[in-house]
C-alpha cells in the first residue's frame, strides 16, 4: 500500500507538465491555443467504479424451516468454525413428528411380520392341496404391500429426523459473524418464490478482502479478469491498496428499462489488508485496462477530427514546421484523462493545442504570425508566437 497525497499531486502536475513540454508557449492574446512538444513516455488507460468492501468469503445463513428461535449461541464479532452451533429453533413439533414417524415404522414392521407368517401358512396349505391359487396370490400380495408400507414409514422417519436436525443451525464455513439479525423468541420465516426468508446472520471470511464494484457499460467493456487494480477506501483516504480483478459480471445488475446506462458488477481481490478494514466500507477502484511503454504522447486537446474526403473524418494534429502549420493525420492509442498516444508524429515535434473549433480553422501552411499575436493578415486565422520565443 502507499500514501496518496492528492493535494501535493495537484500542485505538482503543472510543474511536471512544464518539464514535459505540455505547458507550451502561449498563443497570441485571445487565440486560446498553445504550442506544446510531443514527448516519449509511458501511458496507462484506466476504468473506474465504486463499491463496497467485503470478506473473501461471505454466507448469509437463512432458516431451513420455520419456527421460533429458542437459543442464540453466538454474538456479532464472534469467530466460528465449520459445524459450530449458531442457534436453535423450538424442537417441540419436530420431536413429536419424529416420535410419530418411529411409531409408524414399528407398526409397519409388525404388519410385515404378520403378512410373512400368513404367507408361509397359506403356501403350506397350497402345497397340500388345501388352499386355492387365489388365496396363495393374496398372501403374496399382502407381503409386498406390507414391505412397501414399511419403506414409506422409513422415509417419513428420515424426513422427521431431518426436520429435527434443521432446528439446529450450524456454521457452514470458518469466519466471523459480521451480522446477527435475530434474537431468542423471534420467529424464523422460510423464504418462498415471492418472499425472502429470514436472514438469521452473516458469516464472512475476513482473512482477505474483496471490493464488489459497480461499473457502467462504457467502463466495464475493456475490463478483464487478472487486470491490475488500485482501491481507495473512503474511511482510509490516504491509503491505496493493490488488487487484481477476480471476476467480471456478464449481465447487468439494473432493471434493464433503458432509462440509464447499464451497470455491471466487478469483483476486485485486494492483495493486502489493514486491521482497520471493515465489511461494508465504501471504496473507489481504478483498473488498469491498457498500458503502453515508450510511446509518443500529446495532450488530448491536440487531437482534432478533420474532413478527409469521402472517408469522412480522421484524427489529426497540427505540427509546427518553419513557423507554419502542417496538418498531420494520426492514429490514436492508449489514452489517460489528459494525455493520449499518437502514431504518425515523432517525440520532440511542436504541436498546436487549443479549442477544437480553432484547430479546425487552421490549414496547411498557415503562418504562426508575428510576435505579439493577433490574426494573421493573409489568412484571417489567429496568430501564434514564432517557435522559440
pLDDT attached to residue 1: 54
Contact of 254 with 262, CB cutoff 8 Å? yes
Domain coordinates in residue numbering, the chain: 2-43+293-361, 50-57+206-291, 64-90+172-197, 92-165
- pLDDT tens-place string over residues 361-385: 888 888 875 333 334 333 344 444 4
With CA atoms as reference, report the closest residue to 45 among 312, 334, 363, 327. 334
- pLDDT tens-place string over residues 23-32: 444 444 445 6
Do the domains at 50-57+206-291 and 92-165 have one common CATH topology? Answer: no
DSSP 112-166: HHHHHHHHHHHHHHHHTT-S-HHHHHHHHHHHHHHHHHHHHHHHHHHHHHHHHHT
pLDDT attached to residue 257: 61
Could you confirm whether domain 92-165 is CATH 1.10.287?
A: yes
- pTM exceeds cut of 0.75: no
Q: Which residues of the chain have pLDDT under 50?
A: 3-30, 370-389
Residue 333: partners with Cβ closer than 8 Å, 6 or more residues away: 43, 292, 295, 340, 341, 342, 343
CATH for 2-43+293-361, among 2.160.10.10, 1.10.1060.10, 2.40.420.20, 3.20.20.140? Answer: 2.40.420.20
Phi first, then psi, for residue 141 (nearest 5°) are -65, -35
With CA atoms as reference, report the closest residue to 240 among 253, 251, 256, 229. 229
- pLDDT tens-place string over residues 202-242: 999 999 999 999 999 988 999 999 999 999 999 999 999 99
CATH code for the structural domain at 50-57+206-291? 2.40.30.170
Amino acid at each position: 500500500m502507499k500514501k496518496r497525497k492528492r493535494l501535493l499531486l495537484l500542485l505538482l502536475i503543472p510543474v511536471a507538465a512544464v518539464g514535459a513540454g505540455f505547458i507550451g508557449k502561449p498563443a497570441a492574446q485571445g487565440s486560446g491555443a498553445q504550442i506544446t512538444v510531443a514527448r516519449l513516455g509511458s501511458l496507462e488507460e484506466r476504468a473506474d467504479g465504486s463499491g463496497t468492501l467485503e470478506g473473501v468469503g461471505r454466507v448469509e445463513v437463512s432458516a431451513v424451516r420455520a419456527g421460533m428461535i429458542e437459543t442464540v449461541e453466538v454474538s456479532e464479532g464472534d469467530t466460528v468454525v465449520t459445524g459450530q452451533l449458531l442457534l436453535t429453533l423450538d424442537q417441540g413439533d419436530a420431536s413429536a413428528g419424529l416420535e410419530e414417524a418411529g411409531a409408524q415404522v414399528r407398526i409397519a414392521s409388525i404388519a410385515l411380520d404378520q403378512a410373512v407368517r400368513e404367507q408361509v401358512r397359506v403356501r403350506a396349505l397350497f402345497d397340500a392341496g388345501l388352499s386355492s391359487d387365489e388365496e396363495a396370490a393374496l398372501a403374496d400380495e399382502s407381503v409386498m404391500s406390507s414391505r412397501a408400507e414399511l419403506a414409506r414409514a422409513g422415509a417419513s422417519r428420515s424426513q422427521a429426523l431431518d426436520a429435527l436436525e434443521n432446528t439446529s443451525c450450524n456454521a457452514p464455513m470458518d469466519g466471523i459473524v459480521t451480522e446477527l439479525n435475530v434474537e431468542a423468541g423471534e420467529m424464523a420465516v422460510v423464504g418462498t418464490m415471492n418472499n425472502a426468508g429470514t436472514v438469521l446472520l452473516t458469516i464472512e471470511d475476513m482473512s482477505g478482502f474483496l471490493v464488489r464494484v459497480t461499473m457502467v457499460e462504457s467502463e466495464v467493456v475493456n475490463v478483464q479478469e487478472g487486470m491490475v487494480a488500485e482501491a481507495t477506501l473512503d474511511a482510509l483516504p490516504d491509503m491505496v491498496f493493490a488488487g487484481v480483478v477476480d471476476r467480471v459480471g456478464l449481465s447487468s445488475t439494473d432493471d434493464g428499462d433503458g432509462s440509464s446506462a447499464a451497470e455491471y458488477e466487478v469483483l476486485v481481490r485486494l492483495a493486502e489488508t489493514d486491521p482497520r478494514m471493515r465489511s461494508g466500507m465504501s471504496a473507489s477502484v481504478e483498473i488498469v485496462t491498457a498500458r503502453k511503454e515508450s510511446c509518443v504522447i500529446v495532450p488530448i486537446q491536440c487531437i482534432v477530427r478533420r474532413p478527409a474526403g469521402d472517408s469522412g473524418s480522421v484524427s489529426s494534429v497540427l505540427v509546427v514546421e518553419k513557423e507554419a502549420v502542417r496538418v498531420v493525420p494520426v492514429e490514436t492509442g492508449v489514452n489517460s484523462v489528459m494525455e493520449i498516444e499518437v502514431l504518425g508524429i515523432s517525440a520532440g515535434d511542436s504541436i498546436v493545442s487549443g479549442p477544437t473549433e480553432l484547430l479546425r480553422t487552421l490549414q496547411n501552411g498557415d503562418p504562426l504570425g508575428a510576435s505579439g499575436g493577433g490574426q494573421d493578415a493573409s489568412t484571417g486565422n489567429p496568430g501564434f508566437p514564432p517557435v522559440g520565443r
